Amino acid sequence: MPDITVVLPSVLQPLAGGQSLLTAPADGAVTVAALLDAVTGGYPVLARRIRDETGTLRRYVNIYVNGEEVRRLKGLETEVSAGQEVLIIQSVAGG
């Protein structure tokens, strides 16, 4: 089965056992939310860094699907297919 790859920023990689890429098998399109469930299921601390306990994407965490930030698409309901790359990047915040 083809994979969907999630690319982690370096600051989050220690929470995924040092991995920079997490992959989930995809049988057709899945939502970003379902993809995050799949790839962070074994890494609960990582999961909390990306989404709060209501499942909402944290305000200054951006997720890009094919170069588009998901908030400009359908948020975590945006669909992603095998072969596509999903980037997690922290936005500029703080001072």
Partner 1 sequence: MGTMANAESYILAIGTKKGLWLAHSTDRKEWSLTGPHFLMSEIPSIGIDTRGDSPRIMVGVRSEHWGPTVAHSDDLGATWTEPEQGAISFPEGTEAALERIWQIYPDAESRPGVVWAGCEPISVWKSTDGGEHFELNRGLWDHPHRSEWGAGYGGAAAHSIVVDPSGEKVHIAMSTGGVYRSLDGGASWEARNKGISAYFMPDPNPEFGQCVHKIAADAAVDGRLYAQNHHGVYRTDDDGENWESIAEGLPADFGFVMLTHPRRSGTAWVVPLKADGERIPPDGRLAVHRTDDAGGTWKRLETGLPDHEYNSVLRDAASVDTAEPVGVYFGTRGGEVYASADEGESFTEVVSHLPDVLCVRAAVVSGAAMPAFSA
Residues making contact with partner 1 (CB under 8 A): 12, 44-45, 48-50, 52-54, 56, 58, 60-61, 90-91, 93-94
CB of 53 to partner 1, least distance (A): 5
Please tell me the total number of residues recorded for the chain in this structure: 95
Q: Do 50 and 32 meet the contact criterion of CB atoms below 8 Å apart? A: no
The token pair at 37 is 């469930």
CB nearer to partner 1: pick between 9 and 25: 9
For the CB of residue 47, give the shortest distance to partner 1 in the complex, in Å.
9
Is 79 in contact with 34 (CB distance < 8 Å)?
A: no
Residue closest to 91 by CA, chosen among 54, 64, 53, 65: 64
Tell me whether residue 19 or residue 62 sits nearer to partner 1 (CB atom): 62
CB of 83 to partner 1, least distance (A): 28
Give 58 or 74: the residue with its C-beta nearer to partner 1. 58
Rounded-to-integer distance, Cα 79 and Cα 65, Å: 9
